[in-house]
Amino acid sequence: MQIKVLGSGCSKCRSTIGIIERAAHEAGVEVKIVKVENADEIRAFGVHATPAVVIEGQVVHSAGIPSHEVVQAWFKPASVGFIDHPTRHLFFTGKGGVGKTSLSTAAALTLADAGKKALLVSTDAASNLDEMLGIQLRNTPVPVPGAPGLSVLSIDPDKAAESYRQRVLAQMGASASADELSTVREQLSGACTTEIASFDEFSSLLADGAQTWDHIIFDTAPTGHTLRLLSLPKAWTGFLDGNDRGASCLGPHSGLKMQEVRFKAALDALGDPAKTTVVLVTRPDRGAIAEAARTSVELRELGLGNQRLAVNGVFHASDRSDAVACAIEDLGQHALEAMPALLRELPQDRVPLRPFDTVGLPALRALLAPGAVPVALQATTQDAQSDPLPGLAALADDLAAAGHGLIMVMGKGGVGKTTIAAALAVGLVQRGKTVHLSTTDPAAHLAGTLEGDLPGLKVSRIDPKVETQRYIDKIMAAKSPQLDAQEQALLLEDLQSPCTEEVAVFHAFSRIVSEGRSAFVVLDTAPTGHSMLLMDATGAYHRQMTREFEGHGAARVVTPLMRLQDAAYTKIILVTLPEVTPVSQASALQDDLRRARIEPYAWVLNKSVLAAGTHDPLLQARLVGERRQIERLSADLAQRLYALPWLAVPPIGLGELSKLVRTPSAADCVAA
């Protein structure tokens, strides 16, 4: 454990250091004490009175010598605040890959073990709760064997949409004609209905007055999708205010109006700190912490101010001679120390990195358990004998041979899609190609990853707000000349529906896909669930176009789906981490793509510690699982497999990205 003592080096500072050393010795904890005497460094921690003490980037004491009892408490296993004092609703949100599902499931299990009735709800279309718990998920509560009091529910978008359609149709009564029912069903067949139906299910849980459950824990989709979900109560209640007719994409207005009371109850529940806590999950990583900070601000703007921060996967090297382990620890410490002030002010929980995958009840129970978890120390000779996998430079060479086309980088949130997409785009430019690098991810991290401009590389993003306004302007300009003032007002009102965003984003996606005819387009996609919704919209558009042109030039119609299915035009790159959950989720994504007749081109195994080399006991224990996943990928899943080792220097900026894709003969065309 690293502890920083801030001060001038006076007698009080020396006394503080002595107390820390004695308390650490009594607790059997090894500490490394760093003295910080520079005034500017001290002020950077927000400290105005010394001596002060910083542990893992967090100021735990300031202004005077701490008592022995206070220091002793620093070395006791920390409790976890979000389960020590839980509200009825717990939302776990954050950047993909930070451990939302693991922490939310462990929290729900802990509460159930304490005798509470807990419902764990997944709002992620790409959830892997079934694999973690070994049960089949449904859109109704499923009891978890071996965990009395715990049930799990997954909001299934398709089933929710059908249920929503049936409720709307039922309202029309027996007097409705078959043609009227058919028309309404057609109106309720789009992706927008799927979204509002999922939200309807979500709202019913928040607004449930029956108090069936002591606690409802929400395992949410990655940040961008979750912010969209949490903003929907306000969006729909605002849209309904003063609207006495129906939104065309949702059928009769009563289909929404009947739920207006529920929507408002959901909004009230979200904003009530006595009922709802938002747990911002992050890792000791600069990008994840930055996104947690942005999310915190946006959630406050939505009225969700009751937040706490959970830092997952905090690692301490047990062997300071291991360069890889020390680099991992140091990067984490630096990221925590640079944490924005608005996050520092939040109540915090720190969860250590564990030497096991969080699959199965024993592992999930151990995740939040205090104290150390035994680590298997033995290393195998197989580590050193494993044949190295080709790197990103080889993949960039393969892709460049096509001359042009669409490259879509897909996978679970947090696996490194943005890094891989940016590196491949830079690699193609290095090889003399013109590249358009874009993203469909609402969280949009491209600019922060590139940190600069490169000749031959165009960078953009599909901004939902920008694209929605562009679409509204286009429709109004096309239809307004044929409408009077009242009709124009009604059209604009209809276009203000939150559903319009879905259509607008799809149109922008289609434009970018078509650019691959003459140049390279590298598309950094949103996390799996959000991307599959976009793919669903692509399929729906294809079916609509083929119906409309059937017998009238259908052979000349080329839809975005047809371009995605063309292996010569589109190369799908699946990115994963060497862990069971990301690999399983990428495998499920591959199955979904294959059902749409889209064959992935290659897999990239990111952050391979095996490839980096380490002898740290905890990391060695995790290598057993990593090797298992590599064997799984090579044997059954990946036609082509490439690897990117865990890097001591984060691959941020054009210089570092270029190193990942540069061959020995490549020109050094990007300055570090």
- Name the catalytic one among 102, 419, 468, 559: 102
- Name the catalytic one among 16, 124, 193, 255: 124
99 classed as catalytic = yes
277 classed as catalytic = no
What is the Cα–Cα distance from 311 to 331, expressed in whole angstroms?
A: 14
What is the Cα–Cα distance from 198 to 236, expressed in whole angstroms?
A: 13
101 classed as catalytic = yes
- Name the catalytic one among 4, 100, 607, 659: 100
Closest CA to 400 of 519, 563, 562, 525: 519
- Name the catalytic one among 7, 57, 96, 99: 99
433 classed as catalytic = no
- Name the catalytic one among 7, 97, 332, 529: 97
- Name the catalytic one among 101, 282, 500, 658: 101
179 classed as catalytic = no
Sign of CA dihedral 127, 132, 138, 140: negative
Q: Which residues pair with 217 in a beta bridge?
A: 90, 120
Ramachandran region, residue 535 (left: φ > 0; alpha: ψ -120 to 50; beta: rest): alpha
DSSP 81-150: HHHHS--SEEEEE-STTSSHHHHHHHHHHHHHHTT--EEEEE--TT--HHHHHTS---SS-EEPTT-TTE
Closest CA to 358 of 119, 111, 104, 117: 104
Rounded to the nearest 10 degrees, the angle between the axes of helix 617-632 and helix 323-337 is: 100
CA 380 to chain centroid, in Å, comes to 34
Give, in order, the Cα–Cα distances in Å from 13 to each of 1, 245, 443, 514.
19, 70, 43, 65
434 classed as catalytic = no
- For the beta carbon of residue 76, count every other beta carbon within 10 angstroms: 11
What is the Cα–Cα distance from 465 to 611, expressed in whole angstroms?
A: 41
97 classed as catalytic = yes
- Name the catalytic one among 154, 497, 531, 581: 581
Residue type, 348: Q
- Residue pair 269/297 in contact (Cβ under 8 Å)? The answer is no
What 3-state class would DSSP assign to 35? strand
What 3-state class would DSSP assign to 645? strand
DSSP class of residue 30 equals -
The catalytic residue positions are 97, 99-102, 124, 581
